[in-house]
Amino acid sequence: MQNFSKETHKKFIKHFDIKKNPSEIDLSFLEKTKKYLNLIKWIPWIKMIWVWNSISMNAWKESSDIDLFIITSVNRIWIVRILITRVFQFLWVRKTSSKHAGRFCLSFFITEKSKDFSPFALENDIYLFFRIVYFKPILNFDNTYENFIEANKNWADLDNYFEIIDQNKNNIKITWKSFWNNSKILDLIEKILKKIFLPRTIKNYENLWKPFWIIINDDILKFHDKDIRKKILDDFSYISNK
């Protein structure tokens, strides 16, 4: 069971310059997220969307984008990914290689089957642990946020940070019970989209020399171009030894 003390939490806060209260820009980015999620909430296979990384931690920087983490129904991950990507591209708000700050990063999708992060958690994974603590849910269908927290308690002792996690629920602005998932036609569409887009996804992965942090399977699509968790472990080892 991974657990981190209040003293370690203080060091984490200092290391990432986490503010007790969000800045005006942090708040504006959250409002921007709520605005655009209202435009895609009609997609019935979305189970949850939340903001994470710098904006969720009240640690905005000039280069900050808006990282979204998205949970979908099982066997609908490709449909949801393509729909959201196309909508955000059409609206000119998706992050690109040349336009980064203030735009949406759509690099992490999972299905309900993969709510438990323990399979890809590192030993003493302080960065993943506190990213979960600071997740800010905006769209939450069928109590997926609560179920996600429970699913990760098997490896992360989150109870000591219940106050922050409970406070995060105040950000939930879109919630209802989802519907319309079982359909052979939808199953076929999912297979077709996977067949079209998986090969180019695998090619990009191979071009990056198959880094450990990129995950591509039927229940996880994690595309971040870098993973700083090992560096953070080294940094905190140095901090602990000072």
Mean pLDDT of the chain: 89
pTM value is 0.90
For residues 9-20, give the mean pLDDT. 91
Q: What's the confidence (pLDDT) of residue 220?
A: 94
Q: Would you say residue 237 has pLDDT above 80?
A: no
203, HSE (Cβ side, Cα atoms, 13 Å): 5
Q: Would you say residue 79 has pLDDT above 80?
A: yes
Q: Which CATH number fits domain 6-241: 3.10.150.10, 1.10.580.10, 3.30.460.10, 3.40.1180.10?
A: 3.30.460.10
Rounded Cα distance between 11 and 235, Å, is 11
109/232: higher pLDDT: 109
Question: Among the listed ranges 70-74, 140-144, 181-185, which one has the minimum average pLDDT value?
Answer: 181-185
Q: Would you say residue 207 has pLDDT above 80?
A: no
With contact defined as beta carbons under 8 Å apart, do 178 and 184 qualify? Answer: no
Q: What's the confidence (pLDDT) of residue 179?
A: 61
231 torsion bin: left (phi>0), alpha (psi -120 to 50), beta (else)? alpha
Q: Would you say residue 205 has pLDDT above 90?
A: no
Residues 6+ apart with CB under 8 A from 222: 107, 108, 109, 110, 213, 214, 215, 216
Rounded Cα distance between 73 and 183, Å, is 13
